[in-house]
Amino acid sequence: MVLTRPIREKYAQNVIEFLTQLKGSRSFLLRGQPKHNELLLPSVAREWTKSLNPLISVERTMMHNWKRLALPFLDIHPKNQWEWLVLAQHHGMPTRLLDWTRNPLVALYFACANDEECDGEVFIISLNSHLRELDFARQADPFKIKTSVYFTPPHITPRLAAQASYFTASADPRKPLRYSKKIAIPGNRKTHLLNELDELGIHPATLFPDLTGVARYTAYQTRQMKGPFLRDPGLI
Protein backbone atom coordinates (compact mmCIF):
# COMPACT_ATOMS: atom_id res chain seq x y z
CA MET A 1 0.00 0.00 0.00
CA VAL A 2 1.27 3.47 -0.87
CA LEU A 3 0.98 5.98 1.93
CA THR A 4 0.46 9.73 2.04
CA ARG A 5 2.40 9.59 5.30
CA PRO A 6 4.30 6.77 7.02
CA ILE A 7 2.81 4.79 9.91
CA ARG A 8 6.03 5.08 11.86
CA GLU A 9 8.81 7.40 10.83
CA LYS A 10 12.41 6.37 11.45
CA TYR A 11 15.38 8.65 11.97
CA ALA A 12 18.87 8.15 10.56
CA GLN A 13 21.76 9.51 12.62
CA ASN A 14 24.55 8.47 10.24
CA VAL A 15 25.12 7.03 6.77
CA ILE A 16 25.16 3.42 7.98
CA GLU A 17 21.80 3.81 9.74
CA PHE A 18 20.37 5.44 6.63
CA LEU A 19 21.52 2.68 4.29
CA THR A 20 20.40 -0.02 6.73
CA GLN A 21 16.85 1.34 6.62
CA LEU A 22 16.87 0.93 2.83
CA LYS A 23 18.02 -2.68 2.99
CA GLY A 24 15.69 -5.01 1.15
CA SER A 25 14.07 -2.26 -0.92
CA ARG A 26 13.80 -2.91 -4.64
CA SER A 27 13.11 -0.69 -7.63
CA PHE A 28 12.79 2.64 -5.87
CA LEU A 29 13.46 6.32 -6.38
CA LEU A 30 14.61 8.67 -3.63
CA ARG A 31 14.28 12.39 -3.04
CA GLY A 32 15.99 14.39 -0.30
CA GLN A 33 14.32 17.51 1.06
CA PRO A 34 15.96 19.71 3.72
CA LYS A 35 12.75 20.63 5.57
CA HIS A 36 10.65 18.13 7.48
CA ASN A 37 6.97 17.56 6.65
CA GLU A 38 6.99 19.42 3.35
CA LEU A 39 4.66 17.94 0.77
CA LEU A 40 5.82 16.36 -2.47
CA LEU A 41 4.53 19.20 -4.61
CA PRO A 42 6.27 20.32 -7.80
CA SER A 43 7.43 23.92 -7.80
CA VAL A 44 4.83 25.17 -10.28
CA ALA A 45 1.98 24.39 -7.85
CA ARG A 46 3.44 25.19 -4.44
CA GLU A 47 1.66 28.54 -4.16
CA TRP A 48 -1.17 27.88 -6.61
CA THR A 49 -4.70 28.17 -5.20
CA LYS A 50 -6.85 28.05 -8.36
CA SER A 51 -8.12 25.15 -10.44
CA LEU A 52 -6.12 22.90 -12.75
CA ASN A 53 -6.98 24.33 -16.18
CA PRO A 54 -5.69 27.85 -15.45
CA LEU A 55 -2.50 26.29 -14.09
CA ILE A 56 -1.98 24.34 -17.30
CA SER A 57 -2.51 27.55 -19.26
CA VAL A 58 0.21 29.23 -17.18
CA GLU A 59 2.52 26.24 -17.73
CA ARG A 60 2.04 26.39 -21.49
CA THR A 61 2.70 30.13 -21.55
CA MET A 62 5.88 29.71 -19.51
CA MET A 63 7.06 26.92 -21.80
CA HIS A 64 6.40 29.02 -24.91
CA ASN A 65 8.35 31.96 -23.49
CA TRP A 66 11.14 29.72 -22.19
CA LYS A 67 11.69 28.12 -25.58
CA ARG A 68 11.69 31.48 -27.33
CA LEU A 69 14.10 33.18 -24.93
CA ALA A 70 16.44 30.24 -24.26
CA LEU A 71 17.30 29.39 -27.88
CA PRO A 72 20.19 31.87 -28.28
CA PHE A 73 21.98 30.36 -25.27
CA LEU A 74 21.73 26.67 -26.17
CA ASP A 75 24.57 24.57 -27.54
CA ILE A 76 22.34 21.47 -27.76
CA HIS A 77 18.70 21.90 -28.67
CA PRO A 78 16.11 19.74 -26.88
CA LYS A 79 14.44 17.18 -29.14
CA ASN A 80 10.95 17.20 -27.64
CA GLN A 81 8.67 18.84 -25.10
CA TRP A 82 9.95 16.67 -22.25
CA GLU A 83 13.56 17.65 -22.87
CA TRP A 84 12.54 21.30 -22.89
CA LEU A 85 10.77 20.76 -19.56
CA VAL A 86 13.80 19.02 -18.02
CA LEU A 87 16.07 21.85 -19.16
CA ALA A 88 13.69 24.43 -17.70
CA GLN A 89 13.63 22.56 -14.37
CA HIS A 90 17.42 22.34 -14.40
CA HIS A 91 17.72 26.13 -14.73
CA GLY A 92 15.16 26.96 -12.05
CA MET A 93 11.90 27.58 -13.89
CA PRO A 94 8.85 26.30 -11.97
CA THR A 95 7.61 23.09 -13.58
CA ARG A 96 5.44 20.06 -12.83
CA LEU A 97 8.57 17.92 -12.43
CA LEU A 98 10.12 16.66 -9.21
CA ASP A 99 13.78 15.61 -9.09
CA TRP A 100 14.59 12.09 -7.89
CA THR A 101 17.63 9.81 -7.89
CA ARG A 102 18.47 6.12 -7.77
CA ASN A 103 21.54 6.87 -5.62
CA PRO A 104 20.68 6.86 -1.88
CA LEU A 105 23.72 8.96 -0.98
CA VAL A 106 22.73 11.68 -3.42
CA ALA A 107 19.26 11.86 -1.85
CA LEU A 108 20.82 12.01 1.60
CA TYR A 109 23.05 14.89 0.52
CA PHE A 110 20.08 16.99 -0.61
CA ALA A 111 18.26 16.27 2.65
CA CYS A 112 21.27 17.67 4.56
CA ALA A 113 22.63 20.48 2.40
CA ASN A 114 20.44 23.26 3.82
CA ASP A 115 18.37 24.38 6.79
CA GLU A 116 20.38 22.81 9.60
CA GLU A 117 17.85 24.20 12.06
CA CYS A 118 15.22 21.85 10.59
CA ASP A 119 14.99 18.10 10.31
CA GLY A 120 15.30 16.90 6.73
CA GLU A 121 13.81 13.82 5.11
CA VAL A 122 14.34 11.35 2.31
CA PHE A 123 11.25 10.14 0.47
CA ILE A 124 11.17 6.72 -1.15
CA ILE A 125 8.81 5.78 -3.97
CA SER A 126 8.47 2.20 -5.15
CA LEU A 127 8.33 1.96 -8.93
CA ASN A 128 6.10 -1.08 -8.55
CA SER A 129 3.39 0.92 -6.79
CA HIS A 130 1.38 3.65 -8.48
CA LEU A 131 3.85 5.22 -10.92
CA ARG A 132 4.04 4.33 -14.58
CA GLU A 133 7.11 4.74 -16.74
CA LEU A 134 6.68 7.52 -19.26
CA ASP A 135 6.09 6.48 -22.87
CA PHE A 136 7.65 9.41 -24.73
CA ALA A 137 6.03 8.46 -28.03
CA ARG A 138 2.48 8.06 -26.72
CA GLN A 139 2.66 10.84 -24.10
CA ALA A 140 4.45 13.52 -26.07
CA ASP A 141 2.71 16.46 -24.39
CA PRO A 142 3.67 16.87 -20.69
CA PHE A 143 0.51 18.88 -20.05
CA LYS A 144 -1.88 16.16 -21.26
CA ILE A 145 -0.75 13.21 -19.17
CA LYS A 146 -3.55 11.45 -17.28
CA THR A 147 -1.49 9.65 -14.63
CA SER A 148 1.68 10.43 -12.69
CA VAL A 149 4.76 9.08 -14.47
CA TYR A 150 8.49 8.68 -13.95
CA PHE A 151 11.31 8.76 -16.48
CA THR A 152 15.04 8.85 -16.91
CA PRO A 153 15.99 12.22 -18.38
CA PRO A 154 18.34 12.47 -21.33
CA HIS A 155 21.72 13.51 -19.96
CA ILE A 156 21.64 16.91 -21.59
CA THR A 157 23.70 18.35 -18.73
CA PRO A 158 26.54 16.74 -16.73
CA ARG A 159 24.64 17.26 -13.46
CA LEU A 160 21.87 14.87 -14.49
CA ALA A 161 24.37 12.06 -14.98
CA ALA A 162 26.35 12.89 -11.83
CA GLN A 163 23.20 12.83 -9.68
CA ALA A 164 21.75 9.61 -11.20
CA SER A 165 18.71 11.71 -11.96
CA TYR A 166 15.13 10.64 -12.52
CA PHE A 167 12.01 12.77 -12.70
CA THR A 168 8.38 12.36 -11.83
CA ALA A 169 5.66 14.36 -13.54
CA SER A 170 2.23 14.82 -12.01
CA ALA A 171 -0.99 14.78 -14.00
CA ASP A 172 -2.34 17.26 -11.46
CA PRO A 173 0.58 19.20 -9.94
CA ARG A 174 -1.67 20.57 -7.18
CA LYS A 175 -1.97 17.14 -5.57
CA PRO A 176 0.97 15.95 -3.45
CA LEU A 177 2.68 12.90 -4.92
CA ARG A 178 2.20 9.78 -2.82
CA TYR A 179 5.18 7.89 -1.47
CA SER A 180 6.01 4.51 0.03
CA LYS A 181 8.25 5.49 2.93
CA LYS A 182 10.34 8.32 4.30
CA ILE A 183 13.36 8.57 6.55
CA ALA A 184 13.83 11.61 8.77
CA ILE A 185 17.24 13.28 9.10
CA PRO A 186 17.82 15.17 12.40
CA GLY A 187 18.85 18.76 11.80
CA ASN A 188 21.59 18.54 14.42
CA ARG A 189 23.17 15.64 12.48
CA LYS A 190 23.25 17.29 9.06
CA THR A 191 26.79 18.64 9.37
CA HIS A 192 28.07 15.25 10.56
CA LEU A 193 26.28 13.49 7.69
CA LEU A 194 27.71 15.94 5.14
CA ASN A 195 31.19 15.19 6.47
CA GLU A 196 30.55 11.45 6.11
CA LEU A 197 29.26 11.94 2.57
CA ASP A 198 32.31 14.04 1.73
CA GLU A 199 34.54 11.13 2.72
CA LEU A 200 32.49 8.92 0.40
CA GLY A 201 32.93 11.29 -2.54
CA ILE A 202 29.47 12.87 -2.38
CA HIS A 203 29.92 16.64 -2.31
CA PRO A 204 29.17 19.69 -4.49
CA ALA A 205 32.15 19.21 -6.80
CA THR A 206 30.97 15.69 -7.76
CA LEU A 207 27.23 16.39 -7.81
CA PHE A 208 27.60 19.67 -9.72
CA PRO A 209 30.51 18.91 -12.08
CA ASP A 210 31.21 22.46 -13.21
CA LEU A 211 32.82 25.62 -11.87
CA THR A 212 29.77 26.37 -9.73
CA GLY A 213 30.12 22.99 -8.03
CA VAL A 214 33.83 23.51 -7.46
CA ALA A 215 33.11 26.93 -5.93
CA ARG A 216 30.49 25.43 -3.62
CA TYR A 217 32.83 22.67 -2.55
CA THR A 218 35.61 25.16 -1.86
CA ALA A 219 33.18 27.22 0.25
CA TYR A 220 32.11 24.06 2.08
CA GLN A 221 35.71 23.18 2.92
CA THR A 222 36.24 26.76 4.15
CA ARG A 223 33.16 26.50 6.37
CA GLN A 224 34.61 23.37 7.91
CA MET A 225 37.66 25.36 8.95
CA LYS A 226 35.70 28.40 10.15
CA GLY A 227 32.87 26.57 11.88
CA PRO A 228 29.61 28.27 10.86
CA PHE A 229 27.18 26.32 8.74
CA LEU A 230 26.26 28.46 5.73
CA ARG A 231 23.47 27.83 3.29
CA ASP A 232 24.26 26.05 0.03
CA PRO A 233 22.62 28.33 -2.57
CA GLY A 234 22.25 25.58 -5.13
CA LEU A 235 19.07 23.83 -4.07
CA ILE A 236 15.84 24.33 -5.99
- How far is it, in rounded angstroms, from Cα 153 to Cα 167? 7
pLDDT of res. 225: 64
Residue-wise pLDDT for 98-153, tens only, equals 999 999 999 999 999 988 889 999 999 988 767 899 999 999 999 999 999 999 98
In the DSSP assignment, the letter for residue 110 is H
Which domain covers residue 50, as residue numbers?
A: 10-226
SS3 10: strand
Computed over every residue of the chain, the mean pLDDT equals 87
In the DSSP assignment, the letter for residue 37 is T
Instruction: Give the N- to C-terminal CA distance of the chain in Å, as an integer.
Output: 30
Residue 20 lies inside a defined structural domain of this protein: yes
- Look up the pTM and report it: 0.85
| Total tally of structural domains belonging to the chain | 1
Residue 105 lies inside a defined structural domain of this protein: yes
Residue 186 lies inside a defined structural domain of this protein: yes
Neighbours of 129 (CB within 10 A): 14
pLDDT of res. 129: 66
Residue-wise pLDDT for 37-93, tens only, equals 889 999 999 999 999 999 999 999 999 999 999 999 988 889 999 999 999 998 899
Residue 232 lies inside a defined structural domain of this protein: no
| Phi-psi sector, 24: left (phi>0), alpha (psi -120 to 50), beta | left
Evaluate if residue 4 carries a pLDDT over 60: no
Taking a C-beta distance cutoff of 8 angstroms, is the pair 187, 118 a contact?
yes
pLDDT band at 159 (very low <50, low <70, confident <90, very high): confident
Taking a C-beta distance cutoff of 8 angstroms, is the pair 7, 183 a contact?
no
Residue 3 lies inside a defined structural domain of this protein: no
SS3 78: coil
